[in-house]
Chains A and B, each alone.
Chain A
Amino acid sequence: AQSVTQLDSQVPVFEEAPVELRCNYSSSVSVYLFWYVQYPNQGLQLLLKYLSGSTLVKGINGFEAEFNKSQTSFHLRKPSVHISDTAEYFCAVRRRANNLFFGTGTRLTVIP
């Protein structure tokens, strides 16, 4: 079965510092991987997606993620975070033909 694991439930980081949010997946078939962001009391927004092709995927708000098949990872990175990046981030994998499986989320807190 396809699933994702986000080991870090909370990540504090100082403003303008780099950040990496980790996501590992398990799947025996082709994977489609996604990162979503959720600001407080709001719905989710799609940050970026990997379907095929280049393993480095660029998304909105300066975020990028790298698909690493050998390490079964899809970590999210940003070279310099802003206060406005404070939010919860979810990794997800498309499961079966018509479903998404979400990770448990990582709460990113940017400290001024």
Chain B
Amino acid sequence: DGGITQSPKYLFRKEGQNVTLSCEQNLNHDAMYWYRQDPGQGLRLIYYSQIVNDFQKGDIAEGYSVSREKKESFPLTVTSAQKNPTAFYLCASRPPGQGWETQYFGPGTRLLVL
């Protein structure tokens, strides 16, 4: 089956630790995105990548880093510099030739700080 997978579903982080959230897609999409969702707020864009080996900062990139070494994978690292990392993180990808609104979302990873 084609789709987007995110793992793990729940992730716990200790203070001062870096953690990496996985996002994989087998849809052959070039563009991929990372969003953060907080209660009572809409999604906010962290980073996006239009093509392999290239990525751009979104609205709230501070304290996060990404890589795009393979078309299928777009991992997000939440660094210790991110002071309020507890949130629901959503990864998405977009088919070529479609507008930004046509994004396919993964099931999300909920990050909790201990």
Contact = CB atoms under 8 A, between A and B. Distances in A.
Contacts of A44: 43, 90, 92, 103, 105
Query: In terms of DSSP, what is the predominant structure of the interface of chain B?
Result: loop
Nearest to A49: B101
Nearest to B102: A46
A90 B43 contact: yes
B105 A94 contact: no
Contact of B100 (A9, A99, A103, A105): A99
B106 A43 contact: yes
A45 interface: yes
B107 interface: yes
A100 B40 contact: no
Given A9-B40, A104-B40, A43 B107 contact: yes
B92 A43 contact: yes
A46 B59 CA distance: 21
Nearest to B48: A98
A45 B105 contact: yes
Given A43-B91, A98-B100, 9 more contacts: A32-B99, A42-B105, A51-B99, A92-B101, A94-B99, A94-B101, A100-B45, A101-B42, A105-B42
Interface of B: 4, 9, 40-45, 48, 58-59, 90-92, 99-108, 110
